[in-house]
Amino acid sequence: MGIIRTYPLWISHSSIKDFLSCPRAYYLRQIYRDTSTGNKITTINPSLALGQVVHEALESLSKIKSEDRFKESLIPNYNDRWEKISGERGGFKSKEEELKFKERGQKMIQKVMDNPGPLLNKVIKLTSPDPKFDLPHYFLSVEENIILCGKIDWLEYIPENDSVHILDFKTGRHDEDDDSLQLPIYSLLVKNRQKRNIAKASYWYLEKDILPVKQALPDLDEAYDKVLDVGLQIKEVRSGGKYICPRNSCFACKPFEAIINKQAKYVGSNNYQDIYIVN
């Protein structure tokens, strides 16, 4: 009789957000693979494309020495990255729509260049404990075999007290929900993947704010309990194999149902996902 291997359950802010929105959406986005390509499926739209390029451009600064980061304009970097999502690849329906979104992103980048704030300082990089995986992660619960993973936009080093500042870039027009688990998850990752204390956490709403907006730090014990609770819910649903939309087709799962029902337009692939436009 062969050995039965139980693989860990990996959870992240995005997968938890999907699950809490709709278990069916969680399945279609996080688990389902296209039978012909073997890839996962995802959607693209102008807002997602804008966010992707702005994040990539800003995160590229972390690879440059702090004293050199803003010696040159970041706009050419942004424009080069935009080419990857130009046209249908970014879900744009017209050149006019694309130009409107591109200019919005350029204004965000220019705002950061004019007011770099914490981006002028040394940045800390979270590392992965396993060379097979680039994504920072740790065992949230060894007993339950659950791993928490995630990528943090920016982790500023504060030398005065040898601490860190969690910073998340926001390109959308709506504030993060008060009950969001994003900061609790990021705080747990930072606490468990490096040795310094967390001094503060901020959201930088790039379209409306000149500098980051400080957020209340979550209690780490409460954060652990909340994240583990959702992880256990996901584990239970996965063990049963039933991923049911509580509303029998909702905003979260409907776009992915359109993809598997051949009602969406394929626009490209990356290393592991097939990308679609859903009207």
Residue 186 in domain: yes
- Both 127 and 179 in a single domain? yes
- Report the pLDDT value the prediction gives residue 1, as an integer from 0 to 100: 42
- Report the pLDDT value the prediction gives residue 6, as an integer from 0 to 100: 77
Q: Are 278 and 44 in contact (CB under 8 A)?
A: no
3-state helix vs strand vs coil in the chain, percent to 5: 40, 20, 40
- Report the pLDDT value the prediction gives residue 235, as an integer from 0 to 100: 97
- Report the pLDDT value the prediction gives residue 152, as an integer from 0 to 100: 96
Please give the single-letter amino acid code of residue 117.
G
Residue 49 in domain: yes
- Both 69 and 177 in a single domain? no
Please give the single-letter amino acid code of residue 79.
N
Residue 1 in domain: no
* Strand partners of residue 28: none
Beta strand 197-205 with 163-170 is: parallel
- Both 18 and 104 in a single domain? no
State which of 114, 138, 163 marks the end of a domain.
Answer: 114
Residue 203 in domain: yes
- Report the pLDDT value the prediction gives residue 3, as an integer from 0 to 100: 46
Q: What is the dihedral of CA 252, 229, 241, 128, to 10 degrees?
A: 80
Q: Give me the phi and psi of 265, to 5 degrees please.
A: -100, 125
Structure tokens at 112: 């950061």
Residue 104 in domain: yes
Residue 3 in domain: no
Nearest Cα residue to 13 out of 205, 213, 166: 166
Q: What angle do CA 43, 44, 45 make, to 5 degrees?
A: 130
- Both 53 and 77 in a single domain? yes
State which of 99, 114, 129 marks the end of a domain.
Answer: 114
Domain count, the chain: 2
User: How long, in residues, is the chain?
Assistant: 279
> Residue for token digits 């998850």?
185
Structure tokens at 170: 């926001």
Residue 219 in domain: yes
pLDDT tens track, the chain, 279 positions: 444 457 899 999 999 999 999 999 999 999 999 989 999 999 999 999 999 999 999 999 999 999 999 999 999 999 999 999 999 999 999 999 999 999 999 999 999 999 999 999 999 999 999 888 899 999 999 999 999 999 999 999 999 999 999 999 999 989 999 899 999 999 999 999 999 999 999 999 999 999 999 999 999 999 999 999 999 999 999 999 999 999 999 999 999 999 999 999 999 998 889 999 998
- Both 39 and 59 in a single domain? no
- Report the pLDDT value the prediction gives residue 115, as an integer from 0 to 100: 96
- Both 33 and 137 in a single domain? yes
- Both 131 and 257 in a single domain? yes
Structure tokens at 49: 């494309």
pLDDT in tens, 115-141: 999 999 999 999 999 888 899 999 999
Nearest Cα residue to 157 out of 109, 125, 204, 188: 125
- Both 233 and 163 in a single domain? yes
C-alpha 44/C-alpha 46 separation (Å) is 7
* Strand partners of residue 138: 148
- Report the pLDDT value the prediction gives residue 271, as an integer from 0 to 100: 83
State the sign of the Cα–Cα–Cα–Cα dihedral 30, 11, 232, 21. Answer: negative
Q: What is the CATH number of the domain that holds 255?
A: 3.90.320
Could you please report the per-residue DSSP string of 217-232? PPPHHHHHHHHHHHHH
C-alpha 161/C-alpha 205 separation (Å) is 26
Estimate to the nearest angstrom the gap between the alpha carbon of 278 and the chain centroid. Answer: 21
C-alpha 116/C-alpha 110 separation (Å) is 10
- Both 144 and 156 in a single domain? yes
C-alpha 44/C-alpha 214 separation (Å) is 30
- Both 53 and 162 in a single domain? no
Nearest Cα residue to 138 out of 199, 181, 198, 187: 187
> Residue for token digits 């680039």?
134
- Both 233 and 245 in a single domain? yes
State which of 93, 114, 135 marks the end of a domain.
Answer: 114
Beta strands in the chain (DSSP E): 9-11, 40-43, 137-141, 146-149, 154-158, 163-170, 197-205, 213-215, 265-269, 273-277
Where in the sequence is the domain holding 75, given as residue range(s)? 44-114
- Both 120 and 255 in a single domain? yes
pTM summary value: 0.93
Residue 4 in domain: no
